[in-house]
Amino acid sequence: MPGWPSIDRAEDERLAQSLWAGEMTALPEIYDAYAPRLFDYCHVLLRDEEAAGLALHDALITVQERIGDLPDVRLFRGWLYAVTRRECLRRRAQDDLPAHRRPAAEADGFGGDDAIRRLVHTALLVLDGSQREALDLSLRHELDSHELAEILSVLPHEASVRVAQARQDLDHAFTAVVVAATGRKECPSVAEMAGSIDEPLDADAYGSIARHIANCRTCSAHGNRKVATARLLDEMPTAALPAALRAHVLNTAVASESANLRHTIALRAEPPADGEPGPEPQRRRRSTPGLVPAIVACCLLIVGGILLVRPGSGQSDVDGEQAIGASESPGSAAPGGASPSDSAIPSPSRTSGDGGGSKDNSTAVARPSRTPAPTPPRRSPTPPPPPPQRPGTLSVSGCRMNDGDRCSATVTANGGPAEWSVTGTSPNVSASGSGTLTAGQTAYVTVTRRDIICLGGGSGSVSFNSGAHAPVTWDC
């Protein structure tokens, strides 16, 4: 899309890791990469520049404050869109929209044909809202079926079926729109169904024309020309991102006086429905207020119970109470405790006293402990570092476009890690991307046919830095 930077999946993971680690540059990088896309998505859902800006502001603050809700960094892109969508739907449900909506200006770089743009806009209106949203996310925002499933709260198979049906319906709708605009003179039935050229048609009228095309020899000539659905949507402009929004988001994200605001925004965001665990263990999770005292209290109860059931516990329970009291010193809390605004859902604080301090500690100090001092464990020798991996080789495979204008070529690392990048394409296709793969890992490269209208078949290729070429074919 015009003005939208390309983002590969490896970059998604890096951004998520950076935000998880609390790095100051994380949110600015996420904003620069995703804000143009997310603002356009908010504008599609809310149809107002100010409302879309406020929704994006709150969504990004929620992402920063609730990064612990992300179960896996590989899911960051879909989760980012899901958080944004929930914020927009929350505003719509609470009627938190201006009485008179003011659409945003068009982003710079749009150079589509106005006539085609009007036809595409009319065809999109034939679809229902869920179909338009699924197409927008799949084709313009380049989200896969698993990411769509996360965003739309459906199964991946349902998301794929919805997109496929929407693409087919848009193709038929666009053909019906074209026939209604140009076929009145050629076919009397179209003239009757379409009426006057100045009268706008509704979805039912276009549906009747689409069914008529399938059974009319004259009109079916128009229907034989398959349309590249993704290229049609490329003709639609995107909403321009407000220039002042970046400073507003980043100021709220770091300003100390905005701590309560951040906490409120994160708290009112809808929690994950499935209660999934946090990210993988190697990433440091922000501590939740009240969690450390609760864990300490539970551990102390267990330790106290063990001491009570040991032989001679009637004489050593006071000593056990002394050990518990020592373990509850302020220094036992995990360092770097987060403020309430850093937590996804604050837990109620629990006091560290469990009643163990109600007995006379002076007796415990006077009596010697019967428990021998533990022997320090022996340290195991540090294992040697693993040998460096040998660089691998790249293998690529092409793809075939089945009744569409896109397919996915694959590139795989064999025998070790390898870097890959798209270095060129044939004139009739486009593709881009780069990254680093571990041994056996595969990346997918989206290849797009350049021609909007497809007549017959064709072929092209994508070149990679290894010197290999992935063939691409299609039939129309």
CATH code, domain with 427 = 2.60.40.10
Whether 326 is covered by a domain: the verdict is yes
Task: Give the rounded percent of residues in the chain with a pLDDT score beyond 90.
Answer: 27
H or E, element range at 363: helix 361-366
Residues of the domain holding 438: 393-475
**Residue-level pLDDT at 241:** 92
**How many structural domains is the chain composed of?**
3
Count CB atoms within 10 A of the CB of residue 444: 14
Which is higher by pLDDT, 6 or 426?
Answer: 426
Same domain, 94 and 219: yes
pLDDT mean over 313-324: 36
Give yes or no for residue 275 having a pLDDT over 50. no
Let me know: does 430 contact 445? Beta carbons within 8 Å. Answer: no
Q: Among 119-123, 179-183, 303-307, 395-399, where is mean pLDDT lowest?
A: 303-307
Tokens of 139: 């084709």
Question: What pLDDT score does 342 carry?
Answer: 36
Residue 243 in domain: no
What per-residue confidence (pLDDT) applies to 116? 73
Q: Is residue 271 included in any domain, yes or no? A: no
CB-CB neighbours of 295 under 10 Å: 12
When comparing pLDDT for 206 and 245, which is higher? 245
Same domain for 178 and 116: yes
Same domain, 86 and 186: yes
- For 341, what's the count of Cα atoms within 13 Å in the CB-facing half-sphere? 16
pLDDT at 389: 60
pLDDT exceeds 80 at position 352 = no
Highest mean pLDDT among 58-62, 308-312, 431-435: 58-62
* Per-residue confidence band for 67, with pLDDT thresholds at 50, 70 and 90: very high
Residue 83 covered by a domain? yes
Q: Which region among 88-102, 224-238, 343-357 has the lowest average model confidence (pLDDT)?
A: 343-357
Instruction: Produce one character per residue of 205-234: b if its CB has 16 or more CB atoms within 10 Å, e if not.
Output: bbbbbbebbeebeebeebbeebbbbbbbbb
> Among residues of the chain, what percentage have pLDDT more than 70?
68
The answer to whether residues 354 and 459 belong to one domain is: no
* pLDDT-based confidence at residue 245 (cuts at 50, 70, 90): very high
- Answer yes or no: is pLDDT of 188 > 60: yes
Identify the residue with better confidence: 360 or 452: 452
Do 177 and 316 lie in one domain? The reply is no
On whether both 52 and 140 belong to a single domain, the answer is yes
**Using 50, 70 and 90 to split pLDDT, how confident is the model at 334?**
very low
Pair 88, 131 in one domain: yes
Q: Give the pLDDT mean for 81-86.
A: 95
- Backbone angles phi and psi of 36, in degrees to 5: -60, -40
pLDDT at 314: 42
Residues 84 and 195 in one domain: yes
- Looking at residue 322, its pLDDT comes to 33
Across 8-22, 349-363, 387-401, 430-444, least confident range: 349-363
The per-residue pLDDT for 272 is 44
Q: Would you give the distance in Å from CA 170 to the centre of its chain? A: 25
CA-wise closest residue to 292 among 357, 356, 347, 358: 347
Instruction: Specify the DSSP element, H or E, that contains 180.
Output: helix 156-182
Lowest mean pLDDT, pick from 217-221, 315-319, 323-327: 323-327
- Average pLDDT in the chain: 74
pLDDT level of residue 197 (50, 70, 90 thresholds) = low
The more confident residue out of 344 and 129 is: 129
State how far the Cα of 28 lies from the Cα of 35, in Å rounded to an integer. 10
pLDDT exceeds 70 at position 271: no
Task: Determine contact, residues 414/238, Cβ cutoff 8 Å.
Answer: no
Residue 368 has pLDDT above 80, yes or no: no
Same domain for 34 and 136, yes or no, is yes
Residues 135 and 230 occupy one common structural domain: yes
pLDDT confidence band for 216 (50 / 70 / 90): confident
Q: Does the residue 241 lie in any domain? A: no
> In this structure, is residue 23 part of a structural domain?
yes
pLDDT (mean) for 188-210: 74
Residue 25: exposure state from Cβ atoms within 10 A (0-12, 13-18, ≥19)? exposed
Is residue 416 in a domain? yes
Report pLDDT for 280.
36
**148 and 73 in a common domain:** yes
What's the confidence (pLDDT) of residue 262?
93
Q: Is 430 helix (H, G, I), strand (E, B) or coil?
A: strand
Q: Are residues 111 and 195 in the same domain?
A: yes
Evaluate whether residue 3 is within a structural domain. no
Winning range, highest mean pLDDT, from 47-51, 217-221, 297-301: 47-51
What local confidence, expressed as pLDDT, does residue 110 receive?
58
